[in-house]
């Protein structure tokens, strides 16, 4: 199974949202099936085969998540981030401001789903540019 150190090593290669597809591919190769990142403090729960689970430490001081879901604003921030126009801390702050509580990346179906505080899906997108080794 994978370790938090292996995941941290893969994450060191991510400089912006433009690097996300390569990061996903590396996590998939490590055996991660899904992971959920919580915007409030940046901790992430990784799940592998047979329910194997690891949870990372918080990445930053707890920030409040807006109770108002601002989907269009969030989508604009996400697009900018994916184009490399913002760093990760900025994107997380913007996600919190627009009511995004968490996102779940599904490395089997190659989707990333963003949720608000009420558990509503704000956006489901296909992870671009990833060779899906699970479908070969």
Number of domains in the chain: 1
**71 pLDDT above the threshold of 90:** yes
pLDDT in tens, 8-54: 999 888 776 677 788 898 999 999 999 999 999 999 999 999 999 99
Which pLDDT score, from 0 to 100, does residue 135 have?
A: 43
In a domain, 84, yes or no: yes
Task: Supply the pTM of this predicted model.
Answer: 0.86
Domain CATH code at residue 48: 3.30.1810.10
In a domain, 136, yes or no: no
- pLDDT-above-70 percentage for the chain: 93
In a domain, 96, yes or no: yes
Of the candidates 116, 117, 129, 132, which has an alpha carbon nearest to the alpha carbon of residue 33? 132
In a domain, 91, yes or no: yes
């Amino acid at each position: 199974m994978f370790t938090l150190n292996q995941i941290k090593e893969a994450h060191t290669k991510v400089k912006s949202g433009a690097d996300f597809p390569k990061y996903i591919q590396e996590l998939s190769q490590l055996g991660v099936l899904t992971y959920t990142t919580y915007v409030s403090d940046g901790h992430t729960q990784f799940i592998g085969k047979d329910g194997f689970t690891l949870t990372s430490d918080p990445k930053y001081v707890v920030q409040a998540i807006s109770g108002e879901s601002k989907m269009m604003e969030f989508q604009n921030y996400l697009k900018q981030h994916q184009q490399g126009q913002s760093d990760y801390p900025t994107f997380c702050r913007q996600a919190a401001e627009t009511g995004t509580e968490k996102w779940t990346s599904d490395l089997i179906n190659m989707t990333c789903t963003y949720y608000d505080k009420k558990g509503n899906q704000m956006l489901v997108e296909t992870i671009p540019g990833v060779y899906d080794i699970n479908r070969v």
